[in-house]
Amino acid sequence: MMKTHPFNVMPVRLTALTLALMVLAGCSDRKISDERMQRFNQPDIASISVKPSSLAVSLLADRSGRGLDADSLAALNKLLKQQGRLEKQTLTITPWTVRGEQIASRLASALQNAGADKSRIRVMTRASGAGRSGDLQVQSQALAVSVPDCQVNDPGLLMVKPFDAVGYLGCANQSNLAQMVADPRDLIQARSLDAADGVVIVNSIERYQQNEVKDLIDINFDED
C-alpha cells in the first residue's frame, strides 16, 4: 500500500505562523511607537483661525510736529503688518492734541501712499486726550489670520537630538502658508479664481528687473 505525504500541511502551517508573527510584530511596533511618542511631550498646536481683529496704537509726534517719532513709527508699522494686507484694513485716526491734529491728515496721506484704501481711512475730529498718552491714535480693523506660535519643543536637546527637540514638524509650514494668503476669507471657504491681469504681472516683473520694486509697509513722512 502506498503512503501518501501531506504536502499541503507544511505550507499551511508556515503561512499561519508567518501571519501570526506579522500581527505580533505590528502590535509591538505600535506599542513601541506609542511609548516613544509619550516621551516627546508634544505641545498642543493651536489651530489656524480667521476672525475679526481690532488693534490700536498711541502715537507721538516728533519735535518738528510734522511727523511721528521713531518709536511711534516702528509701533505703527508693526501693527499694520500684524493686521494683514493694508488695503483690507479699516483705519481710524483720532487726534488727541493740537500736534496730533496737525499731522492726522498727513498720516492719512502716507497710509494711502503705502497701499491703504482711501475709502477705508477715516480721520476723526480731535477728541479729549485726558488720561491718555500720545498725540493721536490709529485703530486698525481687519479680518486677520491667527496662526500658532511655533517654537522648539525642547531647546536643551536641539544640538544633541534635533528631531526629538524640534517636536511638531508641520507647525512652521502650516503657519507660513496661512500668512501668505491674499485674503484670509480663503481659509474659511474656497472661491473661484478671478481673471488673470497680464498687465499687472508684466509690470511687476519689469519693476523687479529694473530694481524698482515697491517697498513693504513702511510709513515714512519724509517722502511727502
Decide if pLDDT at 176 tops 90. Answer: no
Q: Are 117 and 87 in contact (CB under 8 A)?
A: yes
**pLDDT given for residue 223 in this prediction:** 55
Of the two residues 41 and 188, the one the predictor is more confident about is: 188
Task: Give 51's pLDDT tier (boundaries 50, 70, 90).
Answer: confident
Distance between CA 20 and CA 197 in Å, rounded?
62
* Residue 51 phi, psi dihedral angles, 5° rounding: -150, 160
Total residues belonging to the chain = 224
Q: What angle do CA 47, 52, 53 make, to 5 degrees?
A: 95
What's the pTM value of the predicted model, to 2 decimals?
0.59
Indicate the helix (H) or strand (E) that contains 175.
helix 171-179
Lowest mean pLDDT among 92-96, 128-132, 183-187: 128-132
Residues 103-125: what's their mean pLDDT?
Answer: 93
Q: 220 in helix, strand or coil?
A: coil
**Residue 38 burial by Cβ neighbours in a 10 Å radius (0-12, 13-18, 19+):** exposed
Look up residue 162 and give its three cell numbers.
534635533
Which range has highest mean pLDDT (113-127, 151-165, 180-194, 210-224)? 113-127
Q: Which string of b and e fits 45-60 if b means at least 16 CB within 10 Å?
A: eeebebeebebebbbb
CA distance 85 to 99: 29
215 grid coordinates:
517697498
Domains recognised in the chain with CATH numbers: 49-146 (3.30.1330.60), 155-209 (no CATH)
Provide the pLDDT for residue 89.
94
Does 25 have pLDDT greater than 60? no
- pLDDT, one tens digit per residue, over 73-109 is 999 999 998 888 899 899 999 999 999 999 999 999 9
Alpha-carbon span 167 to 148, nearest angstrom: 14
User: 137 or 42: whose pLDDT is higher?
Assistant: 137
- For 7, 88, 92, 110, 123, the CA distances from 119, given in Å and listed in that order, are 88, 11, 11, 14, 11
The span from the first CA to the last CA of the chain, in angstroms, equals 114
